[in-house]
Amino acid sequence: MGGETRTITVNRKAYHDYVIEETIEAGLVLKGSEIKSIRDGRVNLRDAYAREEKGELWLFNVHIAQYDAASYHGHDPERPRKLLLHKKEMENLAAVIKQKSLTLVPVRLYIKGGVAKVAIALARGKKQYDKRESIARRDQDRELDRVLKSRNK
């Protein structure tokens, strides 16, 4: 299934709190009102995470706002959502997570070929000093860009 890819939301907090090792594309099991709300961009991945339960991967703490036109057939905004991956991929992820003590964090939600997909990342938590180092590096890069920009004028 090809088609264009449209990013709905990016979990910027994940890039701040974790060192991203690898990302994997997964599908989502959604209700009709949820996909309509996602297409409207009313999604928050900030505190979301994925976890394996009974041989399946589930996405927790993703807030998908209520769709106003859904009436009583709406959805619970915080309900756990099943991730769709091949069985081998799930088994490999579960083994890597246990072996290396990593976390599964959603980093991006997008629509690809009319279907909602989520990019989940194998991530390792950053220590406080790592976060400060990242902020200092970003500030240095900004300052360097400012100097180069003013020099080019």
DSSP for 29-87 reads ---HHHHHHHHTT-EE-TT-EEEEETTEEEEES-EEPPPGGGGGG---TT--EEEE--H
- When pLDDT is cut at 50, 70 and 90, the band that residue 2 belongs to is low
CB 42 within 8 A of CB 9: no
How far is Cα 145 from Cα 152, in angstroms, rounded to an integer? 11
Query: What is the structure's pLDDT at 55?
Result: 81
From the centroid of its chain, how far is CA 145? 29
Encode pLDDT of 49-101 as tens digits: 888 888 888 999 988 888 777 667 667 778 888 999 998 988 888 888 888 87
pTM: 0.75
Which domains are seen in the chain, by residue range? 5-126 (2.40.280.10)
* φ and ψ of 77, to 5 deg: -60, -25
Tokens of 37: 């709300």
What are the tens digits of pLDDT across the range 21-57?
A: 888 999 999 888 888 888 888 888 888 888 888 888 8
- The whole-number pLDDT of residue 118 equals 93
For residue 110, pLDDT beyond 80: yes
